[in-house]
Structure 1
């Protein structure tokens, strides 16, 4: 009788009250056998809908106890042939090896705790001479069932072509499917052959071989790998649905003629079921096959940390006095690609990792715990996609500004920075994250290879990366989330795109800081500033605001620049910048010279911002802080774009860095005045460099207890937020609303002066603004509000003979604006007026005159 006829006979037996294959229905059965034929009478063995939720609602059950379940599988076994149960609480990866030893199950055994990880062996075993049961090949008696794992996650449910005897949900959307055998398999080799065929078909984890010792989960249990533990749920329970080996082979489309390892090597069109679904990318197995094998054999003891595990030596019987100790397994890493094995006993000195793999029956690929990327012709897009996905899994690679980057720490300076990946470095990274294979026609097998040049080029030069997370920047201390709460966790945060490089336990900020705690924190920080002589209270508040900005800059889209100014050398400008830098990063600052032009400035800023520096500092300026277009963009835009040197790419980088500068008697001019806060120092002595300081190692002190001072700065900001964000009335600072709240309002709330006072003073004292005011007054005196051509303005100034007249003032200011080659350049003057159109000074402004004129006319309008 063939399999289909048997299934139809079984259905007929159910319909008339008789039963197929057994004299009576098992008392443990809680549901009726599901139909094997569809509504049209067709064979349903190859239709997954026969056991899906949509077509059969009657065979669900949550009421099967572990005893009922085990009795249905093993009720007819001999009294001394028992399955072995394993039960323990917590995460399976963190329990000692002894917890996996287990104990035999008999019909009178007590129920296992429901809150434990509860497993049972699919086979029964006989006891040894001492009456102890062990899951060992030597004690194997019969295999009663087989189990398919990861149904619904790794293996889609539609690929399961036979209705299972039981279907157990072990995590959300992930199932174990079990098939009870009609006749238990007592031949161990035949049992191995059946499970190897299932593994080869892609219906089971390739690392989960060794079926004679294999464990499956019981229905009443939890999966401790999840937090909180996931309670297992029986979705389908048909204990009378049993299969012969041939029925399993036919229904699951198994090849019983070869082992899994041989079948995988036959040809690129005839590999395992997983590869048929995706011949390019075979993801890394979820479970370490070596650890699984050690646990299955009762050899695992416990983790030692850093990827090391304490185990019992498989050859412990050869040790002197059978001593069990001094043996370890090391998980794979860059130095040991298949892992490591070390036993300190002399009898095992010649045994290494390959000996352990041979003992466990694990091949080298499974031991590597790496995904496989296969170089298949015509699948370039999928190969590149798989390569990018593998980079994501490392949690060390990100995208920033259109480039693939990683976070590195300089071994010399100990500075942590973002480093773009070069093309050779990308090849090395891809070789490390996955095993690359190509098909060799001569050997008719997949063989290992290096990452091919073309996929690497395509990935490196891609315009976008759909899988790599965006790295917005680095932070060297806890940082504020958008809602104002603190993020204490180091590493990459998907929500904010920030990467924290700090000791999570070092900082101490109250959960709900009060005004008193904020006052104490401000007093501590002011103690650091007592060494400096500020020109006024506003300058002191500006210095304190710079400290707060240094701490919270990673959380701010925008922040103004800070410029430290003094009249003479030795006033402490660079030292104050160094102190402020210590609040942004634990590394010493590396100041640079101010760029001479905008092109130089753009190249410098793009190169620096790609590294996600905490601070960009321009030291000892010899000219005013000029408004280079790139610098202005970096200070008022969250991103800036430009072409990266050495790479044929245009990158867009985040501007989240603290900008500092210093210089004697120089400061921001024109467009920089509203983007830069000046901190003025005035030592009040003839030779400031000769002064002595009470705390000469101030910066070193701050770096030594950086956690303390940074925590104080964060306490001030958090206390202001906890107080309900109270606002003190003040002038608005356009573009810097978020910064003004956290680093300006928080200080004014504590009674400090407005730290932005210098901005408004600089804007009023701006030389460019002064010249604009002079020409507006002179033109208003000469022409009133009448529309006037540029040529008429120049002509009027040339007729003046009295320098004290309005014409004389006009001639002088035009000379300052557009004098060139012995006269006034009218085109240059027209451009200057156009650039200042609408800007109000002294209640006057330039307005473009309307009307049909061959040249532009301007008038001065009173506001």
Structure 2
């Protein structure tokens, strides 16, 4: 069943929606429609929507309304709150419900009641960027924090953050100034919840704690890294661990996406989920190294532009969702590696799915959701009020997350959630290929792409027993054609892309051009204590 959420007043305006089955407020505002006064009529209509506190919000360049998808009565899951874009018909319906429309009828020599003219709704929709309606960032189904550390606990729309808090549950208050002891006790409640998972190290435990806390406060953060959960064997509990975080955030298991190799398909999937205000997304069962320029943008930017499916227009949308990825021997590639917090599980058994546990941890998370969310908020609230020490330096592009979530976990657990960041980079296949090339290319002189091509070609023509540059050929294998000759154009692009990047103590350096105006390159050895 799908219903409009029952939103009570919080931070005005836009707190009390109009329900279909209710009688409209009496008297309704009256607007007399005159064709020649369309701009004035449209402005009056939008003003009436504002004053009636209709459930209508701006989200980027689209108008949306909150909708709750109710669960069966015997379900332990919470209702799912999503944002639905207004089309012309839906807006005509709302305008007709809230406003009494009249048009002059010469036959009766008086005004008569009519439905809202379609052109009014069309004109409102066309005024993108010029609406009096507030911008909504996301829908939260649990209390969360504002950027200043205060708690959003009242249900309704919070004008300061653009967060709409909708929930049928009763949420007890969070302590205003929790002590270190309160924080430690709450931290241990969350630790106990995930105690049965086979973490490889304490760093993985800390990374999981940061995932749980991030899920709770993600609506208030400008950006947050992706959480990657990996294991060597299927059935280790990767999806269950992600579902626990999703339940804390939404009251539901995680919304799951596939992992397409095509960038365009990745944009479509993620864009569609962002449009409806999903606050927790998982890319599940990834079988190839995950890389995506669009996903990099979503993780680091507060807003992204997505194309509306089936239409020739784009929308600018907030990115306030928690992103996770799961897979066996999960790997990330390219720029995504620095945007990932890795969690490693290993049950050290051939059939981990046959293990027996006393409790279903996902069911426990559903039953104790209120307690667990409050525990997470108590941890973060205590970190703010106690003015605890922040981890330095903060993680680039994720400073807010690092100064709050990462630092709070380190404060109470002693382990940095980013302790596995080197592992993510080491598993990057792109980095592996680049490192191999830097190790194989000449370091004692300058050279051109054509010279390297000639070296490989001459070596290919020799008998296998007399080849001297097989290591170089293998390192540049992806740039060789079927005959074993180097594609100098691709090789040149590779050199330009990675020039200046230090990997394993070496970097590609451009040394200008020779007399024939051809680029000269070399490999520089860098002091080993210099990091990337």
CA gap of 1:334–1:521, structure 2 versus 1, over 3 A, is closer
Match of 1:533 among 192, 195, 198: 198
Total equivalences in the alignment: 498
| Closer/same/farther in 2, CA of residues 725 and 779 from structure 1, 3 Å limit | same
Distance 2:469 2:217 in 1: 53
Partner of residue 820, structure 1: 481
Deviation, 1:739, is 0.7
Per the normalisation by structure 2, the TM-score is 0.88
- The higher relative CO (CA closer than 8 Å, separation ≥ 6) is in 2
Give, in whole Å, the separation in 1 of the partners of 2:345 and 2:67. Answer: 37
Question: Among 374, 382, 402, which residue is 1:711 paired with?
Answer: 374
Give the counterpart of 1:519 among 169, 181, 184: 184
Q: Deviations over 1:233-261 (max 9, x none)?
A: xxxxxxxxxxxxxxxxxxxxxxxxxxxxx
Q: Please, which of 29, 40, 43 is the counterpart of residue 385 of structure 1? A: 43
The aligned residue for residue 662 of structure 1 is: 326
TM-score, normalising length: structure 1: 0.55
Whole-angstrom distance in 2 between the partners of 1:638 and 1:804: 57
2:410 alignment counterpart:
748
- Work out whether residues 539 and 755 of structure 1, in 8 Å CA contact, stay in contact via their aligned partners in 2: yes
Deviation digits for residues 661-695 of structure 1 (CA, Å, limit 9, x no counterpart): 21111222222211111111011222111110121
Distance 2:465 2:128 in 1: 62
Note the 1:642-681 alignment, pairs <5 A. Answer: 642-681=306-345
The match for 2:249 among 584, 593, 597 is 584
Out of 35, 53, 78, which is 1:394 matched to? 53
CA distance in 1, matches of 2:201, 2:465: 39
Aligned-partner Cα distance in 1 for 2:371–2:509: 55
Matched, 1:374 2:32: yes
What is the CA-CA distance between 1:334 and the residue it aligns to? Answer: 4.5
CA contact (8 A) 1:633 1:640 kept: yes
Cα deviations by residue, 1:420-471 (Å, 9 ceiling, x for unpaired): 1122111111111211111122322121112222222222233323301100
Q: CA deviation at 1:621?
A: 1.6
Establish whether residue 848 from structure 1 lines up as the match of residue 510 from structure 2.
yes
Cα distance between partner residues in 2 of 1:338 and 1:656: 34
User: Take 1:732 and 1:490, find their aligned partners in 2: how far apart are those partners?
Assistant: 33
Cα gap change, 1:773 to 1:494, in 2 (>3 Å):
same
- Structure showing greater radius of gyration is 1
What are the within-5 Å matches in structure 2 for residues 180-195 of structure 1? Answer: none
Kindly indicate whether the alpha-carbon contact (under 8 Å) linking 2:341 and 2:420 is maintained by their aligned counterparts in 1.
Answer: yes
Q: CA deviation at 1:643?
A: 1.7
- Any unmatched runs of 5+ in structure 2? 1-15, 73-78, 527-532
Give structure 1 stretches of 5+ with no counterpart: 1-305, 307-331, 340-367
Equivalent of 1:641, from 305, 319, 326? 305
Q: How far is the alpha carbon of 1:521 from its aligned partner? A: 0.9
**CA gap 1:375/1:806 in 2 versus in 1, 3 angstroms:** farther
Determine the structure 2 residue equivalent to 1:358: none
User: Paired residue for 1:438?
Assistant: 103
| Superposed displacement of residue 735, structure 1 | 0.6
Does structure 2 conserve the Cα–Cα contact (< 8 Å) formed by 1:622 and 1:664?
A: yes
CA pair 767-623 structure 1, distance change in 2 beyond 3 A = closer
Once the two structures are TM-superposed, the CA of residue 861 in structure 1 deviates from its matched residue by 3.2
- Asked if 1:465 corresponds to 2:130, the answer is yes
Summarize the alignment of residues 670-749 of structure 1 with structure 2, pairs less than 5 Å apart: 670-695=334-359, 697-729=360-392, 732-749=394-411
Aligned to 2:520: 857
* CA 1:338–1:726: 2 relative to 1, 3 Å: closer
Report if the CA contact (8 A) 1:578-1:699 is conserved.
Answer: yes
Residue 595 (structure 1) aligned to one of 260, 263, 268: 260
Q: Choose which of 422, 435, 446 in structure 2 pairs with 1:773.
A: 435
Aligned residues: CA RMSD:
2.3
Do the aligned residues in 2 keep the contact of 1:419 with 1:611 (CA within 8 Å)?
A: yes
